[in-house]
């Protein structure tokens, strides 16, 4: 049975506040204050109740039209989940009674970041939606020399964050990828390996993946006009590897998804990643 999913930021903190155990959960980052979307209280049955208000309450009550007894899965955007059911839904909010908090099994073992150039129209939404479904951990938007777009408004950046959130909800992930930037390509930093999509490269992506032994991988893709030779050489000089995606020219919004899918497939089949 498909569960109705609800984002509860501060899920782990809510469980702790209600005196309930948390299994295999990730604690908040040092110095970071959680933004709980609910108030919590314990119950005699070992569960805890959260009261949702705002957008998440609207989604459950008015969009999905859930009533008492409807099964739900709460996720916090950091990889933690808890299953339960709606206890009450009215104009004051939605009460959800939840069981133990645990780590989601839907997350990939790969830590993959996609650094993508600003693209025209709504293409970035497609990149972020599909990348989220495939398991990307974070997106970094970059400013490049041959892009047709030179800036991104705060409102659009926030909307892209909501695209990632909704994609995570729909595909069953418990982690909502961060969307940050834009920043100049020359300022892009990464941990582990970085792979640049460059049609001038003679190194196939599959060979680069087979040779990589990194826990963290960043894929870097360009705008509709592609990267300049200087942009590629600048990243290569800092340790990135330029790769070819094959004999066909992929659209700027297709390349990030193609690279992500190839890397995730290699990771799941035992190729790439750190040995041992």
Q: What is the pLDDT of residues 184-213, one digit of tens each?
A: 999 999 999 999 999 999 999 999 988 877
| pLDDT recorded at residue 7 | 92
CA 135 to chain centre: 7
Q: Is the pLDDT of residue 218 over 70?
A: yes
> Alpha-carbon distance 95 to 116, whole Å?
40
Q: Which position has the higher pLDDT, 267 or 29?
A: 267
Task: Give the tokens for residue 157.
Answer: 């950046």
Report pLDDT for 245: 94
Mapping DSSP to helix (H, G, I), strand (E, B) and coil, where does residue 103 land? strand
Rounded average pLDDT over 91-95: 90
Structure pTM? 0.85
Share of the chain above pLDDT 90, in %: 67
- Give me the pLDDT at residue 20, please: 65
Q: What is the mean pLDDT of residues 69-96?
A: 93
Going by pLDDT thresholds of 50, 70 and 90, the confidence category of residue 234 is: very high
Q: What is the pLDDT of residues 154-180, one digit of tens each?
A: 999 999 999 999 999 999 999 999 999
DSSP 8-state class, residue 185? G
CA distance 173 to 177: 10
Cβ atoms of residues 141 and 114 within 8 Å: no
Q: How far apart are CA 225 and CA 202, in angstroms?
A: 20
Kindly tell me the sign of the dihedral angle through the C-alpha atoms of 32, 38, 42, 47. Answer: negative
């Amino acid at each position: 049975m498909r569960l109705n999913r609800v984002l509860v930021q501060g899920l782990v903190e809510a469980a702790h506040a209600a005196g309930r155990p948390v299994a295999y959960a990730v604690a908040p980052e040092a110095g970071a204050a959680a933004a709980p979307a609910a108030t919590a209280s314990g119950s005699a049955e070992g569960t805890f109740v959260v009261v949702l208000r705002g957008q998440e309450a609207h989604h459950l009550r008015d969009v999905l039209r859930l009533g008492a007894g409807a099964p739900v899965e709460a996720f916090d955007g950091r990889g933690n989940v808890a299953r339960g059911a709606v206890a009450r839904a009215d104009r004051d909010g939605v009460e959800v009674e939840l069981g133990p908090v645990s780590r989601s099994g839907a997350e990939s073992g790969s830590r993959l970041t996609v650094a993508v150039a600003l693209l025209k129209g709504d293409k970035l939404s497609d990149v972020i939606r599909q990348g989220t479904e495939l398991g990307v951990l974070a997106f970094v938007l970059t400013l490049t020399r041959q892009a047709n777009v030179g800036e991104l408004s705060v409102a659009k950046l926030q909307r892209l964050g909501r695209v990632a959130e909704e994609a995570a909800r729909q595909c069953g992930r418990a982690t909502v990828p961060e969307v940050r930037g834009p920043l100049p390509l020359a300022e892009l930093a990464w941990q582990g390996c970085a792979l640049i999509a460059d049609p001038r490269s003679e190194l196939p992506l599959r060979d680069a993946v087979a040779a990589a032994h990194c826990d963290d991988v960043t894929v870097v893709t360009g705008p509709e006009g592609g990267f300049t030779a200087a942009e590629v050489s600048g990243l290569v000089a800092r340790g990135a590897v330029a790769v070819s995606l094959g004999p066909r020219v992929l659209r700027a919004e297709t390349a990030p998804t193609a690279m992500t899918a190839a890397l995730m497939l290699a990771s799941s089949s035992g190729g790439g990643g750190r040995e041992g």
